[in-house]
Structure 1
Amino acid sequence: MSLPQDPMMLFSYVNTKLRDDYSSLDALCDDLDVDRQQLEQKMADAGFEYNPSQNKFW
């Protein structure tokens, strides 16, 4: 499955997966075969950054 391309849908999807299924962004990226740097850059371009202590983008 590919990740949503719309930034707001991606934000919602990733945060839901982090909350429900993964203990870290690394675990999500490894399991879904996603490049972490590309994901973080796409999220940054939309104005979001990853907070590891809360395990979510905001």
Structure 2
Amino acid sequence: MIPEDPVMLLSFMNMKLRDFYPSLDAFCDDCGADKEGIVEKLKGIDYIYDGERNQFV
């Protein structure tokens, strides 16, 4: 369900965070997703999670 491609993952995560979840932790808890895996994959394309903005930037 969660995209493997980093660019698709970026779009997917920011949409989910914008529309449905107040934080990355809330998304991961609800979906059983690997937070560190998501963060590392997106770090590989130079994006980091900004908790204040609740998005990867």
| Moved segments of 4+, more than 2 Å | none
> Which AA in structure 2 matches 1:8?
V
- Give the TM-score taking structure 1 as reference length: 0.93
Displacement, 1:12?
0.4
How far apart are the structure 1 equivalents of 2:46 and 2:4? 15
Query: How many pairs align?
Result: 57
CA RMSD of aligned residues (A): 0.7
Which residue is equivalent to 1:9? Answer: 8
Which residue is equivalent to 2:20? Answer: 21
Percent of aligned pairs with the same amino acid: 42
Unaligned runs of 5+ residues in structure 2 are none
